[in-house]
Amino acid sequence: MKGIILHGGHGTRLRPLTHTGPKQLLPIANKPMSNYCVETLTQAGISDIAFIIGGTGSEKVKEYYGDGEKFNANFSYILQDHPKGIAHAISLCQEFIGNEKFVVFLGDNIINKNINEYIKKFQNENVDASILLCEVDNPSQFGIADVKNGQIVKIVEKPKNPSSNLAVTGIYFLTPYIFEIIKKLKPSWRNELEIADALQILILEEKKLSYDIITDFWKDTGTPKDIIEANKKILENMTEFQKGEVHEGVIISGKVMINEGTEIKKGVTITGPVIIGKNCIIENNSKIKGNTSIGDNSQIKECMISDSIIMSDCKLEGKFEIKNSIIGSNSKILKNNNVNDTKFLLGEGSQISI
């Protein structure tokens, strides 16, 4: 089997973070979110993977992933010149796929589970497509499957009046027949070729569409809140390690991951789950609280940080608190006077003096 990772789109709900690069490269627990998609596919034995790229910073995808050698895989890149929908992106891969079954993974989806059992099941069963469903609290925000007597009878994209709460996750198991279906599609009101419409045609043609319902954590990371929630879940499931230098007088509790080259100085308190990247300096009685990621080469002085993502090469200095925030790489926040707790969503290279 082959794999496809959709890595395009504009990420408008995540601006300004996505002004300088694709949302799928935004870090969760100090790794790009699409990195988890790659790991999920390669762990399932899928090594031939195509990235569908387009939009702002698409060259950064190639720079990060390269030819796939460091992932023990073979990577290809296919350009989607405009965001014309998931089904359109899949249609661009017909030559890459050939006659094989394949898996499509939306690059901004995080699943806290390997998909090996689903891959094996799809390889062995005689179906035209298979999807993973997950119960959600806000079904009008997703493609929703209506299931009757163990069969999917209808799929609707973001219905105003949902018939169920079973969302179609961003993981699709497909056969080459889907390319014939996509040729029949007409653009939706969003002027896109919708994968939900393609799956609905499969149903109407009485083709075999199977499904599984996942109960593990799944998140479509389309908003800052989603990213922070995914960051929390990934941190909770990591294995603790401490490779940096921790001075005497540092208080550490809970699950804490400290990478090499990082120095944690006297008076600092860290309450996990927290991950701190390489070559960071945390000092001056800073307090790093749960569900926080700090990227490589960052400097933290006097701050209190919780439930936040601080990307690489950031400098935060002063007596202030940051929570429920995402700070873009190479940002600086320098405080000279007392201020109240502050919430930030800072794009790459931002500088704030408070």
Q: Would the CATH topology of 2-235 be identical to that of 238-353? A: no
16 upstream amide cis, omega within 30 of 0:
yes
- pLDDT classification of 12: cutoffs 50, 70, 90: low
Q: What is the mean pLDDT of residues 86-93?
A: 93
Residue ranges covered by each domain of the chain: 2-235, 238-353
pLDDT of residue 336: 66
* pLDDT one-digit tens code per residue, 51-68: 999 876 778 888 899 999
Q: What is the mean pLDDT of residues 256-270?
A: 96
Is 182 a residue whose pLDDT tops 90?
Answer: yes
Q: Helix-strand-coil percent breakdown of the chain, rounded to 5?
A: 20, 35, 45
**Cβ pair 215, 136 in contact under 8 A:** no
Is 352 a residue whose pLDDT tops 60?
Answer: no
Cα 54 to Cα 84: distance, rounded to the nearest angstrom: 11
On average, the pLDDT of the chain sits at: 86
pLDDT of residue 350: 55
* pLDDT one-digit tens code per residue, 199-230: 999 999 988 899 988 877 777 677 788 889 88
Q: State the pTM of this model.
A: 0.86
CATH architecture of 2-235: Alpha-Beta Complex (3.90)
Sign of the torsion formed by the C-alpha atoms of 323, 330, 271 and 353:
negative
Query: Yes or no: is domain 238-353 CATH 2.160.10.10?
Result: yes
Interhelix angle 224-236/33-43, nearest 10 degrees: 50
